[in-house]
Homo-oligomer: A and B are copies of this chain.
Amino acid sequence: MKIAVLGTGGVGKAFAKRLTELNHEIIVGTRDVAKTLEKEGEAGFKHFQSQNPNVKLATFADAAAFAEIIINVSKGENTVDVIKAAGATNLKEKILIDISNPLDFSNGMPPSLIPEYSNTNSLGEEIQRLCPDTKVVKTLNTMWNGLMINPTQLANGDHINYICGNDESAKKKVISLLNEFGWKNESILDLGDITSARATEATLPIWLRIYGAKKTGAFNFRIVS
């Protein structure tokens, strides 16, 4: 499939790499292509592209226009701007997988949640509001990014990934993509419509405290019943 990954950071690169390995056609979206390619060294996108030559780089808008599925991996504080830059028209009728979290670093560490996008709102809902004709599916945002795309590296993949969104067929397609990453259907819990993003984004505070206690992000939750 043609997939756009919105965000050029570590998570964006990891998704782009994994998705090309799975034979998808990938464009990574960025605000300013020239500026993104300026950065030298191993952390730069130029270096990443030299090792992953099939991954293309384009503006958020061009990446969104190209893709059938768009994955938003931008930082929560930038997400609304990134989605606006991608453009509701370019995202129309498409599936947008949102894995962002509204982390607020302005009160010190560990971060709290951005008040505007938490409790009775969420980034997932905010994106759905900005792009009413897009099928927003929230998933994968409750864990270390290494696990998102390679769940079986931990406990044979027997840990939880939530999914929510208003469109049932879009959720089914996203579950297929999750299956490609290694997610088993029994590890994916459908919480209902996009308002459940409030709950999945609100798991970040406990995740961050456990991370602080365990000194590793290589964990996830399993629901025991």
Q: Which residues of A contact B (CB under 8 A)?
A: 107, 112-113, 115, 118-120, 154-155, 158-159, 162, 189-192, 196, 198-200, 202-203, 205-206, 208-210, 212-214, 216, 218-225
Cα of A190 to Cα of B154 in the assembled complex, Å? 23
Query: A191 with B209: in contact, given A155-B224, A225-B216 (CB under 8 Å)?
Result: yes
Not counting A190-B213, A199-B206, A220-B224, a sample of 17 additional A-B residue pairs whose C-beta atoms are within 8 angstroms of each other reads A113-B119, A115-B115, A192-B209, A192-B213, A199-B205, A199-B208, A199-B209, A202-B202, A202-B203, A203-B206, A218-B225, A219-B223, A220-B223, A221-B221, A222-B222, A222-B223, A222-B224
- The answer to whether A119 and B118 have CB atoms under 8 Å apart is yes
Which residues of chain B are within 8 angstroms of A209 by Cβ–Cβ distance?
Answer: 162, 191-192, 196, 199-200
Cα of A191 to Cα of B33 in the assembled complex, Å? 42
Query: A154 with B213: in contact, given A198-B112, A200-B206, A206-B200 (CB under 8 Å)?
Result: no
Q: State how many copies of this chain the complex holds.
A: 2
Which residues of chain B are within 8 angstroms of A162 by Cβ–Cβ distance?
Answer: 206, 209
- The answer to whether A210 and B189 have CB atoms under 8 Å apart is yes
Cα of A24 to Cα of B208 in the assembled complex, Å? 36
Which residues of chain B are within 8 angstroms of A208 by Cβ–Cβ distance?
Answer: 199
- The answer to whether B206 and A205 have CB atoms under 8 Å apart is no
Which residues of chain B are within 8 angstroms of A154 by Cβ–Cβ distance?
Answer: 224-225
Which residues of chain B are within 8 angstroms of A202 by Cβ–Cβ distance?
Answer: 202-203, 205-206
Measured CB to CB, the closest approach of chain B to A221, in angstroms, equals 5
Interchain residue pairs A-B with the least CB separation, the first 5: A219-B225, A199-B205, A199-B209, A199-B206, A155-B224
Query: A213 with B189: in contact, given A119-B118, A223-B219 (CB under 8 Å)?
Result: yes
Cα of A113 to Cα of B206 in the assembled complex, Å? 15
Which residues of chain B are within 8 angstroms of A159 by Cβ–Cβ distance?
Answer: 224
- The answer to whether A224 and B107 have CB atoms under 8 Å apart is no
Cα of A209 to Cα of B210 in the assembled complex, Å? 21
Measured CB to CB, the closest approach of chain B to A166, in angstroms, equals 15
